[in-house]
Amino acid sequence: MTTSADLSTALGDLLPAALGVAISPVPIIATVLMLLSKRARVTAPAFAVGWMLGTTLVLVVVLLLAGPDGIDTGGSSDLTGWIKLVLGLLFLLLAAHTWRGRPRPGQDVVPPKWMSGLDRTPPLVALGLGAALSGLNPKNLALAVTGGVAIASNGLDTTESVIAVVVFVLIASTLVVGPVVAFLVAGDRMAHPLNALKDFMEVHNSAIMVVLLGVLGLSSLGKGLGALLG
């Protein structure tokens, strides 16, 4: 039987990963571009729904693979430690890759080519794009797996697992869903703040990702080594 302390521990463990998914410059820029298009009220909400569905799907798959008893963290099992160790190394490798690919001083920031057609994206395509960016992007996939492991390794019952998944998805979706909700409420008054957000994310994309991935990588490595050596 689980306790509220188990749920609190799980929420604390998944919080950094959920924040890591939330701070994703490319999806945020894509959301803003859709919100500034003529079909904003159709495509942007579809993209946001897809984003939430993609994140949820990864968490559910991890929990299903873990089984009804979750991931065994007791006795001689080092599975959780190895998973965190591997994820930590993956985050650091992604940080190094991002740093090497960063724009040099004076070099223009060129957005991905697929972004050029976002203003003409049909709703179903926007839905699929949101799901792909949240569930298949290597960084977000690794973070969602980290969140799923945090839930599965704390011995939660079904109700508490659902609560943990909902909390993760809500936090992870804040900077994608938030601008969409704000636009639907405030309309064209959000144009200037949205443009400012897009410009900031474009300029500081690499720096944000390097710092984020570096911190998450070191944190996951520390937890993995602690679990294996403890």
- The pTM of the full predicted model, rounded to 2 decimals, is 0.84
Under DSSP, the state recorded for 103 is P
pLDDT in tens, 104-162: 776 666 666 777 788 788 999 999 999 999 998 888 998 898 899 888 888 888 899 99
Distances (CA, A) of 104 to 108, 110, 206, 214: 8, 12, 11, 20
Q: pLDDT tens for residues 5-59?
A: 688 988 998 998 999 899 888 899 999 999 988 889 999 999 999 999 999 999 9
How much is the mean pLDDT over the chain?
A: 86
The two structure tokens encoding residue 217? 């990588």
Residue type, 170: L
Question: For 63, what's the count of Cα atoms within 13 Å in the CB-facing half-sphere?
Answer: 23
Instruction: Give the residue extent of every domain in the chain.
Output: 4-229
**pLDDT score recorded for residue 176:** 95
The distance of Cα 186 from the centroid of its chain, to the nearest Å, equals 26
- Closest to 177 in 3D by CA, of 35, 8, 62: 35
pLDDT value for 68: 67
